[in-house]
Amino acid sequence: MFFQMCRCDIKGTVVEMDRLLRPEGWVIFREKLESITEIESLITSLHWEVRMKYAKEPEGLLVAQKSSWRP
């Protein structure tokens, strides 16, 4: 039997993490490289700080910290 995995929407997941995570909180993403670049652009638009980025085919690692900045 074959099951196809459906992935969740990255934007929705990052927005929900931004809502739940406290300021100065940390998060570690481990995903495919295409997803890591998309996540990086999303979190920088939310004023998070990228602390570390590591890439090795086919996966990447991104460590970010939520800032206390709010409009």
Residue ranges covered by each domain of the chain:
10-65
Q: How confident is the model at residue 8 (pLDDT cuts 50, 70, 90)?
A: confident
pLDDT at site 1:
53
Q: How many angstroms separate the CA atoms of 61 and 71, rounded?
A: 29
> Which pLDDT belongs to residue 49?
96
Q: Is the pLDDT of residue 42 over 90?
A: yes
Of residues 45 and 70, the one with the higher pLDDT is 45
Model pLDDT, residue 3: 61
Give the tokens for residue 25. Answer: 């909180």
Half-sphere exposure at residue 70, Cβ-oriented, CA atoms within 13 angstroms:
6
- Averaged pLDDT, 3-32: 88
Among 38, 32, 41, 25, CA closest to 61? 32
Distance separating alpha carbons of residues 69 and 39, to the nearest angstrom: 19
